[in-house]
Amino acid sequence: MLKALSFIAYFGMVGGLLVLATTNNLFSPSLFVIAPQVAALFLMVWARLTFGRRSFHVAANPTQGGLITTGPYHLIRHPIYTAVCLFTGSGVVAHWAWISAVLAALVMACALLRMFFEEKLLVAQYPEYGRYAARSWRMIPFVF
């Protein structure tokens, strides 16, 4: 059930981002938008490189090979979802409109749902996940 729900959440995230991008409500020439979006891209690439050659799954599905706790995963458990939220939030702030805010809320809510679904699956697969979760932050160090 969690995998099926995570599948839906994934498409909610991607769908929201695609609508924001196609309606020109995601990118901006402003340095105040470009800087956090570049930081988000850096975080996403760093996390993906740290994750290594493991495959990506549309539905939440922990991969074999052990728990990753290095790179950005040392501090935050979900750096890729954090990057997606930072990228989206920055773009929407530059193009403030109710529809943009609703789409950003959809992207962020779906990212949060996937995080919670993945964590439940990770606990089941990796017994050490509880200790890792106790010493790391979900998205924002010292906040959440």
Q: Could you tell me the pTM of the whole model?
A: 0.88
**What is the domain range of residue 121?**
2-54+63-135
Q: Identify whether 140 is part of a domain.
A: no
Q: Identify whether 6 is part of a domain.
A: yes
Which residues, in sequence order, are CB contacts of 5 under 8 Å at separation 6+? 113, 117
Per-residue pLDDT, averaged over 105-119, amounts to 93
Confidence tier at 83 by pLDDT (50, 70, 90): very high
Cα–Cα distance for residue pair 6/48, rounded to 1 Å: 19
Q: Identify whether 143 is part of a domain.
A: no
Confidence tier at 59 by pLDDT (50, 70, 90): low
Q: Identify whether 144 is part of a domain.
A: no
- The structural domain count of the chain equals 1
Would you state the pLDDT for residue 1? 77
Q: Identify whether 67 is part of a domain.
A: yes
Instruction: Tell which residue, 54, 59, 57, 106, has the closest CA to residue 85.
Output: 106
Q: Identify whether 142 is part of a domain.
A: no
3-state helix, strand, coil in the chain (%, to 5): 65, 0, 30
Helix (H) or strand (E) holding 80: helix 79-94
Instruction: Tell which residue, 9, 24, 7, 6, has the closest CA to residue 99.
Output: 24
Instruction: Tell which residue, 142, 118, 143, 120, has the closest CA to residue 7.
Output: 118
